[in-house]
Amino acid sequence: MTETPLAVDPTGDGATFAFVFAHASRIYVGPRANGTGAVSMRADGSDPAPADFAFLEDVTNNRHRNTTTPPYPSIGATGCAFDTPACGPDNEDGRGLFAAGRFDGEDWLVVAGARSAGDFDYVYLSNSTEPTLTFRYVDLSAPLGGQTLGISAMHVFNERLYLGFPDSGANRPYLVALLRAPAAPGLDAVAGAGCIPAAQDACDLEADAIPGVGDSSSAVVIIDAITDFNNRLYLANAGGVSRSLSDAPLAGTLAGQWVGVTPTAAAYAASPSVTTSKTADLEPTDKAVPAFAAFGGRLFLSRNSAAGPQLWMCAPGVVAGPAPASATDCDGGDWTLVATNTTLNPDLSQFDNTAHQRATLLAAGANHLYLGFDSATGVNIFQTTATAPAGPADFTGEGDCSAAAHPASCPGLGGTGFGLATNTRILASIMLRLGARDYLYIVTGDGSGPVRVYRIPD
């Protein structure tokens, strides 16, 4: 049986990747392959409408590099020619991020590209709901470095917009907190390490000095995932996991701001995290920690090691002291490897399927925790109601079958690959509350054909 998608090739241009999220009571999918816009639709996929991009020009201080006439129509795309409308306002030439969040009292769209030449400086925000989305610039040249290359993560927490940036310089990676939204046409952000809203617009949190995410020695270091849990901020990448010691953390070079909380269990160190040299066009499969999810009072993270995927669960309070350990927060000893194989390597969470080499979806609704995998034979997504899922038997797949029978039987929700062998990659996913119910939206593809969008009710 083939699951019916909400949309096939939603942007109408054969785009092989797309983000998905909600903004102003509509579902947005994009960007287009050429970076010029996206599509919005109702929650059920009906009433699709184009959403074009228009970027305002920065003409003060650090100015946009693209010499074409503004407003600029594209955020840029890999292979675009500099100083043409095909590249972004600052000659961005790769896909970065397209997302939404509520920040500084308003709902904002956030988009950013990437610069293969380095010296990446800009993110763009829009509060528009019009057919043409006019984006204001945020010039982050003050907190970012000359070898910053793009953007890899975003999260809104406690009236701050946190942004993670890939970098190849000595201070890699970068984590910036944006303290206020831009007024039109944009914001030349005044930066500093103190995060003082009265004096600064943004602050460099000096992630290279944060225990955990600052411990990676890769040539290019990215921040994979950012979330909040029990009023603390969490970061993760190939270097490890970090937790803030307050709800408004300062720079990693300052005492009492951050603590490393990488799992101390032997299974974590048994195989190194995957790394990537990519700085643009990132997918979940490229990340060591594609996602966090909170479920049942516990924090979960999906991890991709060189040996294969893992699902880690934090039960706060296993380690309750001494400080900075806490009974309400995640510490290194609070993590347990869960959903482990029963016949294959017990240090992996791949549902005894050797085709599951990367975990690319982790999400939680009110009723279920979801874990999904890329696979050459088609993606698989499983769900559980268990707050401490020990193994595949705690998960269910299509038709509520027990995942303990996988891979011999019991395909993932909607069937393996949602019934299509070409659905080999989970490209993006998000859990959205619509009315009184949660829905999991998933974007799939194979990297060469157009994407498809599916929806699973929680």
Q: Which of 389, 262, 274 is nearest to 335 (CA)?
A: 262
Per-residue model confidence (pLDDT) at position 195: 84
Cis peptide before 263 (omega within 30 of 0): no
- Phi–psi pair at 285, nearest 5 degrees: -65, -20
List of residues 6+ apart from 128 with CB closer than 8 A: 109, 134
Q: Residue 217's pLDDT is what?
A: 87
pLDDT at res. 34? 99
Instruction: Quote the pLDDT of residue 192.
Output: 76
- pTM exceeds 0.85 for this model: yes
Which residue is listed with tokens 């925000």?
Answer: 125
- The string of pLDDT tens digits covering residues 328-354 is 999 999 999 999 999 999 999 999 999
Residue ranges in the chain modelled with pLDDT below 70: 1-2, 193
Determine the pLDDT at residue 194: 77
